[in-house]
Amino acid sequence: MGENGAGKSTMMKIVAGMQARDGGEMLWQGQPVNFRSPAEAAANGIAMVHQESLLAPHLSVAENIFLGREERRPFGFVNRRKMQEAAARLIERHGFPLQADWQVGRLSPAGKQLVEICRAIQHGSSLLIFDEPTSSLSDAETAEVFKIVRTLRQRGTGVIYITHRLDELREVGDRVTVLRDGETVHTSDIAELTTDRLIQYMVGREVNAIYRREPLPPGDELLRLEGLSRRPLLQDINLQIRAGEIVGLAGLIGAGRTELCRLIFGLDEADSGQIFVSGRPVRIRSPRDAVREGIALVPEDRQKTGLATGLPLGVNITLASLPAVSRFGFILGRQEREVIARQMERLRVKAESPKQLAGRLSGGNQQKIVIAKWLARGAKVFLFDEPTRGIDVGAKVEVFEVMDRLARSGAGILMVSSELPELLQVADRILVMRQGRIVAELPGRTTQEEIMSYAALAGSVNASQESVQ
Amino acid sequence: MIQRLLPFLTLIALFVGLAIASPHFLTSTNLSSVVRQTAVINIMALGMTLIIISGGIDLSVGAILAMGGLLGAMAMERGASIPVGISIGIVTGMFWGLVNGFLTTRLKINPFIVTLGTLGIVRGLTLIISNGLPVHQLPADFSFLGEGTLFGVPFVLWILLVAAAAVHVMLEHTRLGRYAFAIGSNPDAAFYAGIPVAFHITSVYAIGGMLTGLAGMVEASRLMTGQPTAGQGYELQAIAAVVIGGGSLRGGEGSVIGTLVGAFIMGLLANGSDLLGISPYLQQAIIGGVIILAVTVDELRKRRLPA
């Protein structure tokens, strides 16, 4: 365990031969070793399931699983049929919602993660390294991953399991090592360690892991959806968000939560229904329309759609609000700097200067830059899609605080999260989606069990399979 | 920091080295001719800088240069005034820039493919219009554009400086420039931020086309001919200038100063080889090597930055 940037992935990349070390020794089965490539590590029985997908998007699931170790025929031809069959058996054994001949590039992040796992376990390795394997998986899929991990353990395979999630650790782990700033700070049996203690080791200071938001009396209506549909993904969605409110949106992966955000933000078009902003019917056909109506999306995938990581953070902050700080197309330098300074201060962005590249900030600070971009634009309705993904424990609370401050200053927030405890901490009320519909509205002080009882009724297995393709 | 300045230092080193190696280098005749020879590529490369920063590429500029020069020359041959002729060249360039931008953004085809196609189309049309024959009857005063002198320096240097200043200001101080960087750095994030991405990409290609049209008129003026076969291979030189100057073909990086330095490095290499009697065949190989070297050094610099 460890916060982002603690060195977990780097250490494991060294173990798996993907990166070179510049000191120290590694013993493998009693022998000092130095793997210079992943292939060499794999040949010695060490395989890694990567956090970010290292798959070939144009190849099929089967081809990816066997990439680099294809069933060969003479003259270098690949025995495709045999590969397909082997892959299909593997997938079936674990009950993954995959098909051997699907193209990997069209899979959801969860689907890709499952392919990564298949790829690692088919090697028959004696040490498997999982780098946050469940960060994009639904609960059912996560349970399957746990089952795989336990099976592997029973067969005598060693498992190193990197995770952010404290509850996961207790489900699968025996011993834990905590890294901080590239150093080992603690190793012990998990059973000996309280959660608070563990967090303290990770952040190096005491953190209140349990955040509780004081709800506000809600103000005027900001966003209302009436009968919004995009069949078959979304059907007859009705919801209302008022100023000062944080509305949680729960559901399994594939229930339509992200799709709903995309629809509201104009990335997809509805085939029926109406969106109202501040009581006014509006037509939103592109992000540009949405932004004009004061709607902001804080996307799940910050690096891909939220930030220009190669540009200075200041540039990112004013990206959506340049017209306000320019005249006749020319940017007014002083006014722009003021906006940047104001937003950085307001969100307490930790950075050397506005010129620092956005990509070099921590996950939490990157998230703040995305939020700052929308604040500078004067957005009123915020769609947060998995706002704490890839953000370490200490910074999570900070993100919640930012959301709370947004709400207090009159914004309305729709928060999509797969982390039920987080929804329960932050949201004033929680909408539960299943198979493209909102099936329940629960008060903020509900329970995980209650939410799950609505989110995962019989028949939802199909929905999650659809989502993987 | 040293590595960021490397193209600049290379240019200075080349300059000093050539001044020592050849007595003919530091003469005003020779330096003027370097400026004149480099100006055409330089002006094109300014537009290419914008395009590459926005994550695009334009392989059709050599052909556009020829058509711009040809149509401008044909207009003047038929009695149009010099300013009108030059304007026709520029507008021709802008038109094809708009076509490139339109095809890239509306059909969502990779700009490499789009401009590879328009390269063929434009070159072909130019040869059809001219019947493959150059246009010679140009007003004598037209030669001032490419060969004239103002305040003791070649007139093209003034043109280049004005164009460079304009593009620099555009990149660093206007919304268009900022959006070009943003789109080149991450087109999805730009789109999600509500930026009219297609409009700005099209604008960038149009501006690149205008500068190419202008370069076409300079070329026509230097040769005093509207030459339908002009500009072959210029697109690669323009791209090379941008890349040597620190531009990235992945988009989001590049600068006017860098591009000017890059173009002058190539100009000096060519001039120096001539002065030192190095075969033109070897020249090509040397410039090719310099391109790879420059990009390698730049990549190493970026990789060494602390994470």
Read off the pLDDT of residues A69-104 as tens digits, 9 standing for 90 and up.
Answer: 666 666 666 677 778 888 888 888 777 777 888 888
Same domain (yes/no): A80, A164:
yes
Between CA B304 and CA B307 the distance in angstroms is 8
Distance from CA of B288 to the nearest CA of A (A): 28
B91 CB contacts (<8 Å, ≥6 apart)?
Answer: B210, B213
Same domain (yes/no): A259, A290:
yes
pLDDT of residue A206: 53
Q: Is residue B173 part of a domain?
A: yes
Between CA A371 and CA A431 the distance in angstroms is 23
Nearest to A306 among B176, B181, B189 (CB): B189
- The CATH number of the domain holding residue B257 is 1.10.3470
Q: Is residue A305 part of a domain?
A: yes
Q: Which residue has the higher pLDDT, A327 or A3?
A: A327
Q: Which of A288, A319, A326 to mutate to test the interface with B (most CBs of B within 10 A)?
A: A319
Question: A469 pLDDT exceeds 50?
Answer: no
Distance from CA of A303 to the nearest CA of B (A): 8
Same domain (yes/no): A154, A264:
no
Between CA A123 and CA A90 the distance in angstroms is 11
Question: A405 pLDDT exceeds 80?
Answer: yes
Token look-up 């049209």 returns: B213
Same domain (yes/no): A321, A197:
no
DSSP per residue over B235-264, as a string?
HHHHHHHHHHTT--TTSS---HHHHHHHHH
Between CA A199 and CA A209 the distance in angstroms is 8
Same domain (yes/no): A164, A298:
no
Domain residue limits at A113? 8-203
Nearest to A329 among B174, B190, B307 (CB): B174
Question: A211 pLDDT exceeds 70?
Answer: no
pLDDT digits (tens, 9 = 90+) for A432-465: 988 888 888 888 888 777 787 787 764 433 334 3
| Total domains in the fold of chain B | 1
pLDDT of residue A364: 81
Same domain (yes/no): A186, A284:
no
Between CA B90 and CA B82 the distance in angstroms is 12
Q: Is residue A58 part of a domain?
A: yes
Distance from CA of B172 to the nearest CA of A (A): 9
Q: Are A118 and A86 in contact (CB under 8 A)?
A: no
- The CATH number of the domain holding residue A159 is 3.40.50.300
What are the chain A neighbours of B191 within 8 Å (beta carbons)?
Answer: 287
Please list the residues that pair with A2 across neighbouring strands: A179
Same domain (yes/no): A384, A418:
yes
CB contact under 8 A, A311 and B185: yes
Q: Give residues 280 to 309 of A whose Cβ lies within 8 Å of B.
A: 287-288, 290-292, 297, 299, 304-309
CB contact under 8 A, A290 and B194: yes
CB contact under 8 A, B195 and A320: yes
Same domain (yes/no): A442, A387:
yes
Q: Which of B54, B170, B179, B186 to mutate to test the interface with A (most CBs of A within 10 A)?
A: B186
Token look-up 């970010």 returns: A52
- H helices of A378-440, in order, are 393-408, 420-426
Please list the residues that pair with A33 across neighbouring strands: A26
Residue where a domain terminates, one of A203, A235, A254: A203
Strands (E), A412-462: 412-416, 429-434, 437-443
What are the chain B neighbours of A373 within 8 Å (beta carbons)?
Answer: 193
Phi, then psi, of A376 in degrees rounded to 5:
-60, -30
Same domain (yes/no): A278, A141:
no
Choice among A16-30, A130-144, A202-216 with the minimum mean pLDDT:
A202-216
Q: Is residue B307 part of a domain?
A: no
List Cα–Cα distances, A359 to A445, A460, B187, in angstroms. 37, 38, 15
Domain residue limits at B138? 6-302
Q: Is residue A349 part of a domain?
A: yes
CB contact under 8 A, A331 and B174: yes
CB contact under 8 A, A307 and B186: yes
Residue of A nearest to B248 (CA): A310
Mean pLDDT, chain A, as a whole number?
A: 82
pLDDT digits (tens, 9 = 90+) for A373-393: 999 898 899 999 988 887 777
pLDDT of residue A462: 38
Q: What is the DSSP letter of A229?
A: E
| Total domains in the fold of chain A | 2
Q: Is residue B208 part of a domain?
A: yes
Confidence of residue A207 (pLDDT cuts 50, 70, 90): low
Please list the residues that pair with A213 across neighbouring strands: none
Same domain (yes/no): A292, A427:
yes
Q: Are A42 and A125 in contact (CB under 8 A)?
A: yes
Residue where a domain terminates, one of A175, A203, A231: A203
Residue where a domain terminates, one of A170, A203, A236: A203
Q: Does residue A330 belong to the interface with chain B, where contact is any CB pair within 8 Å?
A: yes
**Bond into A232 cis (ω within 30):** yes
Q: Is residue A270 part of a domain?
A: yes
Same domain (yes/no): A278, A371:
yes
Q: Is residue B1 part of a domain?
A: no
Mean pLDDT by 10 residues, chain B (307 residues): 72 88 84 88 95 94 94 90 92 96 91 94 94 86 82 89 94 93 92 92 96 94 90 90 87 91 90 85 85 80 57
pTM: 0.77
Please list the residues that pair with A414 across neighbouring strands: A247, A383
What are the chain B neighbours of A265 within 8 Å (beta carbons)?
Answer: 192
Phi, then psi, of A286 in degrees rounded to 5:
-155, 160
Same domain (yes/no): A135, A234:
no
pLDDT of residue B83: 92
Nearest to A311 among B175, B176, B182 (CB): B182
